[in-house]
Amino acid sequence: MTKLRFFLLTTVFILLLPVSCQSKDTKQSSDHASTAAQTIQIKPNLHPGDVFKMEFSTDQNVVQTLGGQQTKIVANIAMGMTLSVVETADEETGVKITYDWSKFKQQHPKFTIDFDSRQPNSEIHPMARGFAEIVGESFVLVLDKAGQPIAVRGVDELLASMVAKLKLENEPEEKAAKVKHALEQHFNEKSLLTTFRQTFGFYPAKPLSIGDSWERTFDMAQGAGMSIANKWTLVGASDSAADIDVSSKISSESSANSDAPMSQELSGTQTGKMKIDLSTGMPVEASLNQALSGTISIKASESIPKDMTVPITMDSKVTISVSKENATS
């Protein structure tokens, strides 16, 4: 049962990380008369040789009720990455993304996990192995001229390297197959494009004045049946940076009749702020607060004797910071 509770937590985290995905539609509005001199354009401006350091952290408080018992779980998941602009050609930009470090901490009533790859003697809990093996891996994210991720290169090599590190040949065949399948589900072109659309997918289509808003709805990948309707508002600007407020509604389609072994009906909100470096178009920092509630439904199987419905609430704080490491020559 403990493993099931952990599975529920990590599954919901994966569904939401990092609250972005495939763009469905775009809407931009303005109630402000403006002239060209009063507007700013927020767009990517990346050049070969540019290097950025990105840090991502999520703090979560989860309450779920399973078998009549309420369980409270506190978790922190964080990663550090290097983003290196390696090429620009044919109105496309290639950004090499390397995972520098990872952290996974969870406080559960029955156990504690505390892994940090930056600590040489950090114990690698079995549930944290994926976080350990991602360190040092990389792939290339391809952006179009508007900054939208359109392709990923090097995913097969990344996956093969992670599988080799896990030494699955030493595991029972059935277990090894399940682990490899899980990795393939989350480290493929579609899922990686999904992950990085929050970083690069917010750019407005037109120049903005203070007070202007634009909207975009993201559909969750991997059959999650969830969507996030984002609204961004330009609330301030200087010669070097733009301040943006974020307001989002998170919802999921009813999946009661789905054949999937697990489904969810969750809804909630996300609010926060972003600061954008106008010289590069990259987010300098972002802070987002999420509140979700609903149920997770699990169908009966060999390990679960009957169908289960698990009420769950989740409060999360997501922080993202990006710093430029060098100047373009």
The total number of structural domains that make up the chain: 1
Where b means 16+ CB within 10 Å and e means fewer, 258-293 reads: eeeebbbbbebebebebbbbbebbbbbbbebebebe
Is 329 part of a structural domain of the chain?
no
Give φ, ψ of 142 to 5 degrees.
-105, 125
* Domain enclosing residue 189, as ranges: 21-324
Is 232 part of a structural domain of the chain?
yes
pLDDT in tens, the chain (329 residues): 444 444 444 444 434 444 444 445 455 665 544 434 479 999 999 999 999 999 999 999 999 988 788 999 999 999 999 999 998 787 899 999 999 999 999 998 988 999 999 997 767 887 788 888 899 999 999 999 888 889 999 999 998 898 888 887 877 888 778 778 777 877 788 888 877 876 788 899 999 999 999 998 877 655 557 788 999 999 999 999 999 999 999 998 755 555 667 778 899 999 999 999 999 999 999 999 999 999 988 888 777 788 888 999 999 999 999 999 975 54
C-alpha to C-alpha distance for 314 and 74, rounded to whole angstroms:
10
C-alpha to C-alpha distance for 192 and 162, rounded to whole angstroms:
15
Is 287 part of a structural domain of the chain?
yes
Is 228 part of a structural domain of the chain?
yes
pLDDT of residue 173: 82
Is 302 part of a structural domain of the chain?
yes
Q: Are 242 and 276 in contact (CB under 8 A)?
A: yes
Is 309 part of a structural domain of the chain?
yes
C-alpha to C-alpha distance for 217 and 227, rounded to whole angstroms:
7
Is 115 part of a structural domain of the chain?
yes
pLDDT of residue 36: 42
Is 12 part of a structural domain of the chain?
no
**Helix (H, G, I), strand (E, B), or coil: what is residue 185?**
helix
- What is the domain-level CATH number for residue 199? 2.30.230
Number of other residues whose CB lies within 10 A of the CB of residue 156: 12
